[in-house]
């Protein structure tokens, strides 16, 4: 059961708390109706499992109330809860203590990157794949971004995937090409 964290927040007083409680109630119903325990999955969980705030505004009080409900529900939960984040330093220690396992997923090694490139763009020459897999330590998501750009280029009629274009995209995606400015939008003359 994948939870969209944004859908657990409301601008109406008391609604966020009700919505997060409803997530756990729905999960418990699902747990009781299935033979195999389903997984309750929060992606980008730091948005809701972050460090509690000192209360200065009413939104801070709501955020802390939601977190207290989450802590209580996690404490009594009988199922499987998985949360993902790229920002582990932002998680509240109270939540971290409730995770039985903490798995750090490293960036793929050179061989894995090569296989990802081959699976995503099988038409690329092996020499191109080897060169970019050796040179750029990209994650699978970053490789996906580059593949989308290549697909977009193909749609726009630039069908030949050149090594130079691949290197440019890899450099931009890895942050090495941030000094280049790409204009977005249009001008009216």
Q: What is the pLDDT of residues 60-89, one digit of tens each?
A: 666 777 788 888 888 898 999 998 888 777
| Four-CA torsion 88, 53, 61, 96, nearest 10 degrees | 30
Amino acid 147: pLDDT: 93
Res. 182: pLDDT tops 60: no
Single pTM value for the model: 0.62
Mean local confidence (pLDDT), 57-62: 64
User: How far apart are alpha carbons 127 and 140 in whole angstroms?
Assistant: 20
Residues written for the chain: 189
What average pLDDT does the chain have? 82
User: What average pLDDT does this structure show over 1-19?
Assistant: 76
pLDDT the model gives residue 91: 78
Q: How far is CA 167 from CA 135, 146, 171, in A?
A: 9, 10, 6
- Which of 49-53, 94-98, 136-140 is the most confident on average? 136-140
Average pLDDT over residues 88-114: 85
| Cα 23 to Cα 108: distance, rounded to the nearest angstrom | 33
Give the confidence band of 109 by pLDDT, cuts at 50, 70, 90.
very high
Q: What is the pLDDT of residue 55?
A: 65
Question: What tokens does 180 get?
Answer: 């280049």
Q: Is the pLDDT of residue 185 over 70?
A: no
CATH number for the domain running over 2-98: 3.40.50.300
Q: Structural domain boundaries of the chain?
A: 2-98, 110-174
pLDDT tier for residue 35 given thresholds of 50, 70 and 90:
very high
């Amino acid at each position: 059961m994948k939870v969209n964290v944004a859908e657990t927040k409301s601008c109406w007083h008391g609604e966020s708390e009700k919505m997060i409680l409803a997530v756990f109630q729905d999960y418990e119903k699902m747990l009781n109706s299935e033979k195999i325990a389903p997984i309750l999955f929060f992606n980008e969980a730091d948005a809701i499992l972050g460090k509690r705030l000192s209360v200065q505004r009413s939104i801070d009080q709501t955020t802390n109330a939601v977190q207290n409900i989450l802590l209580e529900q996690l404490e009594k939960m009988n199922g499987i809860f998985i949360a993902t984040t790229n920002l582990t330093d932002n998680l509240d220690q109270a939540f971290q203590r409730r995770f039985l396992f903490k798995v750090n997923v490293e960036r793929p090694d050179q061989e894995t990157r090569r296989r990802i490139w081959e699976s995503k763009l099988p038409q690329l020459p092996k020499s191109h794949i080897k060169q970019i897999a050796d040179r750029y330590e990209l994650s699978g998501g970053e490789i996906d971004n580059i593949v989308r750009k290549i697909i977009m280029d193909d749609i726009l009629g630039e069908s030949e995937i050149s090594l130079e274009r691949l290197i440019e995209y890899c450099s931009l995606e890895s942050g090495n090409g941030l000094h280049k400015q790409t204009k977005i939008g249009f001008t009216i003359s």
